[in-house]
Chain A
Amino acid sequence: MIRLPLVLLFSAFLFSTGIYGVLARRNAVMVLMAIELLLNAVNVNLIAFAAELQDITGVVFALFVIAVAAAEVGIGLAIVILLFRNRASINVDEVDLLKW
């Protein structure tokens, strides 16, 4: 038996790690991975709630989140490729044509 608050703390920790990754990483692909971490932290939360509350909705939602995360990565990589073709660099700090 795993207690709910522990799982929630774990997912909050994962989420915070993801936030740190998004804010601190320079490489766009790394930022993308950090965003995936954020979504997966939420998935942990959803599954934990679903188990605790004996309710199927959370599990179904987690499946949808996984699918959406995949779509998000697809779009993200496409934009990375587009940026690379235009600039030969995917460093988010060098994205400076527009004021950040």
Chain B
Amino acid sequence: MLIDYLPIVVMAVLAGVFAVGSLMASSMLRPNRPNPVKLSAYECGNDPVRLPSGERFSVKFYLVAMLFIIFDIETIFLFPWAVSFRSLGLFGLVEMAVFIGLVFVAYVYIWRKGGFDWSAGEIAPNEADEVVERERALFTRSEQEVAKPPDVNEWQGAGRAG
């Protein structure tokens, strides 16, 4: 019955009271002297600079990772089937053929959609200098360049347009 759950309620209330209570007690007892240095991130010497997020490595790798994970994990079903291949007999073979057929359909879809075209939209040779220039600018970044969002257009070739 419901009364059986009373200990759980008591426990939850006690935990909540303890969490809130200890925070409140410490905020009342401790000295409060705010100071901007206390809030800054720890970095030796110079002021920390926030990295433009996502620029550390190309987002293209996520696509490779995605395809790898999906096709790699499929083997998890092949493995137990291979181990007990003889005892599963023809039925197992047919089931596995259906399964691999389905994976193959996905493969065909990705291929037709340009998912394997990892260089799609990448820099043509004559643009390479420009890109090197841009990369170099990122490492010797000035204030404005940090404020500017990273260029994402270069990746967009892999969609329907391709």
Question: What residues of chain A have their CB less than 8 Å away from a CB belonging to chain B?
Answer: 27, 63, 66-67, 70-71, 73-74, 77-78, 80-81, 84-85, 88-91
**Docked pose: A60 CA to B69 CA in angstroms:** 20
**Docked pose: A77 CA to B65 CA in angstroms:** 8
Pairwise interchain contact A88-B54, C-beta atoms closer than 8 A? yes
Q: Any chain A CB within 8 A of the CB of B17?
A: no
Pairwise interchain contact B54-A73, C-beta atoms closer than 8 A? no
In whole Å, how far is B4's beta carbon from the nearest beta carbon of chain A? Answer: 21
Pairwise interchain contact B80-A63, C-beta atoms closer than 8 A? yes
In whole Å, how far is B113's beta carbon from the nearest beta carbon of chain A? Answer: 12
Pairwise interchain contact A70-B73, C-beta atoms closer than 8 A? yes
Interface bits B58-76 vs A (CB < 8 Å: 1, else 0): 0100110111011011101
Pairwise interchain contact A81-B62, C-beta atoms closer than 8 A? yes
Partner of B70, one of A66, A74, A89: A74
In whole Å, how far is B117's beta carbon from the nearest beta carbon of chain A? Answer: 15
Question: What residues of chain B have their CB less than 8 Å away from a CB belonging to chain A?
Answer: 53-54, 59, 62-63, 65-67, 69-70, 72-74, 76-77, 80, 149-150, 152, 155-156
- The residue among A67, A71, A88, A90 with the most chain B CB atoms within 10 A of its own CB is A88
Closest chain A residue to B59, Cβ basis: A84
Listed from nearest, the 6 A-B pairs whose CB atoms lie closest are A70-B73, A88-B149, A77-B66, A74-B70, A77-B62, A74-B66
* CB pairs A–B below 8 angstroms (8 shown): A63-B77, A67-B74, A70-B69, A73-B69, A74-B69, A77-B69, A81-B63, A88-B54
Contacts of A80 in B (CB 8 A): 62
Contacts of B76 in A (CB 8 A): 63, 66-67
Pairwise interchain contact A85-B54, C-beta atoms closer than 8 A? no
Pairwise interchain contact A91-B53, C-beta atoms closer than 8 A? yes
**Docked pose: A69 CA to B52 CA in angstroms:** 30
In whole Å, how far is B102's beta carbon from the nearest beta carbon of chain A? Answer: 12
With A85-B152, A88-B150 as given contacts, are A73 and B53 in contact (CB-CB < 8 Å)?
no
**Docked pose: A67 CA to B80 CA in angstroms:** 13
**Docked pose: A74 CA to B67 CA in angstroms:** 7
Q: A63-B76, A70-B70, A90-B53 are in contact. List 13 more A-B contacts (CB 8 A).
A: A27-B53, A63-B80, A67-B73, A70-B69, A74-B69, A77-B66, A77-B69, A80-B62, A81-B59, A84-B54, A84-B59, A88-B53, A88-B152
In whole Å, how far is A86's beta carbon from the nearest beta carbon of chain B? Answer: 9
With A66-B73, A89-B53 as given contacts, are A73 and B66 in contact (CB-CB < 8 Å)?
yes
